[in-house]
Structure 1
């Protein structure tokens, strides 16, 4: 009787342990795997944008890797950029504009489509690796309204990183590679972007990042709740 009771207790103990493992394992895994990445190459012919995009997304089990087209950022963004947790674009730029192959797109009007801005579907972070696309107060006092105007892009996205200066093709590959390494390791987003530019830029490049203020401590491993749609509360960090 005593032997039978001891065996029953052992079986009960192992059953409980197995149940705990079955319950606990998915909880640990969700934060580690529930991420989607997309890469978008701004030009097929004007310099090498393919390698810097690849140098970022190759650190992940990426979900999209496309030649960039304007519809991926505006009218079809819910299936492309806004379907990803992290999107990375490399190409030509100017303040609030990016060039997708031969077509320039004004980001100030990119949220005026049925798909709306970024973040109403899934997007958390977008990096626009292009010249001068994220203007800082050093370039223009009204740096914020382009992002938060009526039908603006900030529709729940946490952070948008870019350059406030020119970007150099000579070091694009190293910047994107290091940034990908830091994101994969769970580094803080805008801080890692700035570190990559300081460490691998040509010395004249300076980064900038706009964000919902409550999201400025986000990392790719752990980030805050989504901002409210169509908010007008932004913070900017920039290098000088």
Structure 2
């Protein structure tokens, strides 16, 4: 059994706690066209009546994210990655600067949750002492976003599709967002695959069906759970 620990950085103390209830929208984005990432994405989406299922292009995460990633309540990406970086069919997206367009980051329009089935995208304090600022600084992607889930280690293509299948089922069943991510890795991943999830501290008990109000503009608090 993999363990989890918690780190929290309190930067700005502003939050709202109203619950929401409505139909949810899901979208998935595959980073390559010939390595099975489309299947990895679909194995999550098939548990929902999803709205978007696309090959991943940079603009979906940057200049028109309000019509793509940020139009969804829950977005998932599968493809190659690195710390705060994802590779797409048109190049790649630096998540530390993806909000430097008129569409801003994620959450100012709609998105609450995003998951990255990719290597290394969400570093923990074990990889980066400053694990938080590239998520919440000006021009980054936390702009009302509740949670981002991914790996702090390599993720393996031999298990990716099983992890997203388990994850989609758990999310559809109403389990916690980051908690289900770790459960999926524990049950379907390799022993050397370790997850990490960053979130506004008010949002750590969110589910896809029931979540608190968006963090207030300028709230740069961030909380991390990671496996070790």
User: Could you say whether these structures have the same fold, taking a TM-score greater than 0.5 normalized by the shorter chain as the test?
Assistant: yes
Q: Secondary structure at the match of 1:51?
A: helix
Q: Deviations over 1:46-90 (max 9, x none)?
A: x21011100000100000000000100111100000000000100
Give the alignment's TM-score, normalised by structure 2: 0.90
2:48 counterpart of 1:43: no
Q: Counterpart in 1 of 2:85?
A: 97
Deviation, structure 1 residue 227: 0.6
- CA deviation string 1:124-176 (max 9, x = no partner): 10001110000100001000000111122111010000000000000111100
3-state SS of 1:182 partner: helix
Q: Which runs of 4+ in 1 moved over 2 A?
A: none
More helix by proportion, 1 or 2? 1
* CA contact 2:24–2:209 (8 Å) conserved in 1: no
3-state SS in 2 of match to 1:113: coil
- Greater Rg over alpha carbons, structure: 1
Q: 2: CA distance between counterparts of 1:122 and 1:133?
A: 22
Pairs within 5 Å for 1:4-153: 31=21, 34-45=23-34, 47-153=35-141
Tell me, what secondary structure is at the counterpart of 2:115? strand
Q: Which has the higher contact order (CA 8 A, sep 6+)?
A: 2
C-alpha distance 102-72 of structure 1, shift in aligned 2 (>3 A): closer
Indicate conservation of the 8 Å contact 1:154/1:231, yes or no: no
Deviations 1:8-36 (A, max 9, x none): xxxxxxxxxxxxxxxxxxxxxx93x6100
Long gaps (5+) in structure 2: 1-19
**Please, what TM-score do these two structures have when normalized by structure 1?**
0.85
Gaps of 5+ in 1: 1-29
Q: Which residue of 2 aligns with 1:216?
A: 204
Q: CA deviation at 1:231?
A: 2.0
Superposed CA RMSD in Å reads: 1.1
User: Higher strand proportion, which one?
Assistant: 2
> Do the aligned residues in 2 keep the contact of 1:81 with 1:123 (CA within 8 Å)?
yes
Report the counterpart of residue 164 of structure 1 in structure 2.
Answer: 152
